[in-house]
Structure formats: C-alpha cells, structure tokens
Amino acid sequence: MILFDIDGTILDMRSMILYVLQAYDRSRGNGFFRNLGISDITVHENTVDRLLAQLPLRPEEQEEVLSWYLKHRWTSAAIIESHRAFRGVLEVIRWFQIQPGTYVGLNTGRPEALRADTLHSLNKLGKDYRVSFTDELLHMNPAGWNEEVENAKVGGVLHFQKEGYRIFAMVDNEPDNLRAVSKIDPQQEILLLHADTIFESKRTKMPRRTVRGKVYDLTELIPEKALPERIQFVWHGVNDKANLRQFLASDIHWAEFDIRTDPVSNDLILRHDSLENTPQHEDEDRLTLDYLLSRLHKTGKGVKLDLKGDRTLVDRVLDMVDAYGLDESCLWFNAKVERLQERGFRRLASAHPSAVLQCPVSFLAPLILSAPRKAKEILTMFTDWGINRFSISWLTPDMRHFFDQMDQWGFEVNIYDVPDLESFLQAVLLMPRSITSDFNFPKWYYYGRGSGENGNHYEYSLQLSRGVMTVRRPGRV
Ligand SMILES: [Mg+2]
C-alpha cells in the first residue's frame, strides 16, 4: 500500500483559499479579492492571516475576513466546489490502483467529522480519471482539528499495517509527518516522499532518506515495459519509408496506413492528404499499398487500413488484401461513416467478419452529453452495419466523460490524436481497447514521423556532445 496525505499533497489548497475569500466578497458585496489570482497565494491554508496582511486591508477588515474564512473553509459547499487536485496526481494514483495487489490508502490529519465530505469530493475529482477512494482505505484524525496530526499519521500507518497491508511508501507535504513516520520504521521499509508544495513545518526536520519532488510526472513513473498488455497499440500514419522502417523494427504490433487513390495513375497509395489539396512535394517518396503489403504480409504485423475515399475504394482494397492472403486477426479497417456509408461497411464486415472495423465518432460528443439515448441508438445502428470499434479523439471536449459513457455501454473504444507521451500515458490509464499514436516519444527512443497531415512531419534534432547523442523533443515542421 502507498499512503497519500490529502491537503497540500493531493489537493492544491490555494484553490480553496481563493474560493473562500471570493465567497466572502460575494456575501459582503466587497471587491477585496477581485484581482487575487491563484499564483498570488503562497501561504499555507492555516496561515491566511499572512496573505491578508500583504493586501491593502485595514486591520479590522483583515480580522473580519480571517474569522469568516476560518468559519467557512471546511463547509461541505467549500469542500465540494473548491477543491482541486494537483496536475498529475490523480493519474499517479490511478496507476497504483491498477497494479495487481497494490492499494492506495489515504492518511489525513482531517478529523472524522469530515469523512463523508472528504470521500464525496475526492471521488468527484477522481471520476474522470477512473480513480475511486473507499471508506476502508481512508484513515482520519481521531483527535480534533489540527490536534496531534503527527500522531494521527503514525496511527494511520499502524492501522493499515494491522489490517495486513505492507506500506511501501508515504507521500506527505509536511516534513513533521514524514519524520514522525520514519521513527516507527527503523527497517526503512517505507519510502518517504515529500510533496514539495506549500507546507507549515520546517524542511530541516525531514529525515535524510526522504525523496522530494514538486511535480507528479507520469512519464517518469511509467516505463514502456509496464504498459498494460490488454491495450492494443497502433503506430499512426505510417505512410513513408522512414516511418515504416521504424515501425518494422519496433515491438509495436499494429500500424495504421492511409489509403487513397492516386487520381493520375489510379494506384492505391499511402498518403494522408489528398493530392488535390496538398500537391506532391518534389522529394516525396510515395508508397503504394501493393508495396506495403508485399513488405508486411509475412511479418505477422497488424495492418490497419484507413480508407480515405468513398465506397469504390472498398472492393479494390479487399482484392489486394485477399491477394496477399492476410490473416483476419491482423486486419483492421477504419473509415468515416459518411464516406463508406452503410453499404461500404457491410461489405467489409461480410468479407472479414473477425477483422476490426472502426469508425471515428467524435462528432457524437455533443449528443452523448445532451441526449445519450439518441447517441446510443446511433452507435447501435453502426454496430448493426458491422462496426465493432469506435474511435474518439483525445482532443474532443469532455473526452473523459465521453469515454466513460462508451465504456459503460460496453463499446470497444480506440483513442487517437494523443499529442505526446504524457497524453499517451493518460490515455493508457483510461484502459481503452486500443490507442493510436504517432510514437513521437524520444524519451522512449521512438521517433515517429506522424502521418504527414497537411504535408507536415515531426522533426527531431540531434545533438552530439562529448560523444553522447541527445534527441530534442519533436516539433511539427
Ligand atoms: Mg498535508
């Protein structure tokens, strides 16, 4: 079990401070805090008097605001409406929650009286991340407010140990709490992690073995070898030789190729953009579907064909796929519903019933939110056509809500349009059936070029310094 403190560790208490001060303004019709921003707050939630002293307020005004703040900061309304998690922390918690035999416990100095509000607000914040907290795994302070907090933290560790958990780490923003726990852990089994945010106690009191950090960074936490096996990964936009070479040399099973007809030669070619809208570049190396399948059909790699054309493309593509005898378990088709229409999808489904047949459905996002039953009817109609995978863009507004609804309905979902490694890992944590990505992850030694949309590819710059080659982050050319 890994233990997390809540205030100042999971929750950024500056949001609560700002919310309560602005609520004061509203209740009094004042504008004291109209121009106060979150980054102006550098004090702990227990020392708001110091913040007030820096503002142009008379002493009696400071006093009135402070007593109002102290009275209202832990009301249910403030807890539900104002609490915000630090960037990345809910993803980190989710990562631990999906590991086998691993639990996330909460070890807080908040008093028992706040138990229901605490669980309610944290579960509300966690919902989009598929994070949930339970009553049994929340340990609170049996003493009153801000009393014997260090004892409560030690009590939390002992409580969970008595329940049979082995505590392997504890994250807290207060050095005093970490020090108290270190004293009951002479074998140093517990990794002490200091959330270096805003804290009250002195940093010098921290045990020397404490590890400090200011950010929750998924790309540091999750290595490639720990990616869940049940998610299918697809290398997006393999339309040129450089990308194809990298894909073939990788352990990634699937690649997506954009297929369209060359209006001049009538060949089936690999290209994201139409030749009409984005004319051929002079040094563009253009690959044909025929060449691609001749390279791939014996490799056992998965072939995802994105049909960029209308129904007339279907039969030509099917003929070529059949000519190379590709196994259905290695076949995946994607197309827009308005291009292939019902007949095109039914044709693909009857030719290869066990292949993945996918269409993008990001256009349903507004309907999912406003009229979910209608959206479900439409999706069910698509499944009648033979479509068995729905693709949604990571960049869709309310994407997490959209995904959650699709998942609850039991549809298989592919996520695409993940811009970088961090977003890719965030998508992994949702555990969709598949993720399609450019593999533009220099941190993992993947230098995917992208599909060439609008004639652009990712560009990487190499730097040689004392014999060490480093690759800078990709940018679009
Ligand atoms: Mg704390």
Distance 23 CA to ligand 1 centre (A): 23
Distance 68 CA to ligand 1 centre (A): 22
What's the pLDDT tens digit per position in 306-329?
A: 999 988 999 999 999 999 999 899
Q: How far is CA 244 from CA 194, 452, 462, in A?
A: 44, 13, 20
What's the pLDDT tens digit per position in 359-407?
A: 999 999 999 999 999 999 999 999 999 999 999 999 999 999 999 999 9
Distance 88 CA to ligand 1 centre (A): 17
Distance 116 CA to ligand 1 centre (A): 18
Distance 114 CA to ligand 1 centre (A): 15
Distance 110 CA to ligand 1 centre (A): 9
Whether 20 contacts 72, CB under 8 Å: yes
Distance 98 CA to ligand 1 centre (A): 24
Calculate what percentage of the chain has a pLDDT beyond 90.
Answer: 86
Distance 211 CA to ligand 1 centre (A): 16
More confident of the two residues 298 and 342: 342
Distance 12 CA to ligand 1 centre (A): 10
Distance 10 CA to ligand 1 centre (A): 8
Instruction: Give the residue-averaged pLDDT of 126-153.
Output: 93
Whether 121 contacts 15, CB under 8 Å: no
- Residue 272 C-alpha from the chain's centroid: 26
Residues 6+ apart with CB under 8 A from 463: 469, 470, 471, 472
Calculate what percentage of the chain has a pLDDT beyond 70.
Answer: 98
Question: Where do the domains of the chain lie, and which CATH numbers do they carry?
Answer: 1-216 (3.40.50.1000), 224-476 (3.20.20.190)
Distance 4 CA to ligand 1 centre (A): 9
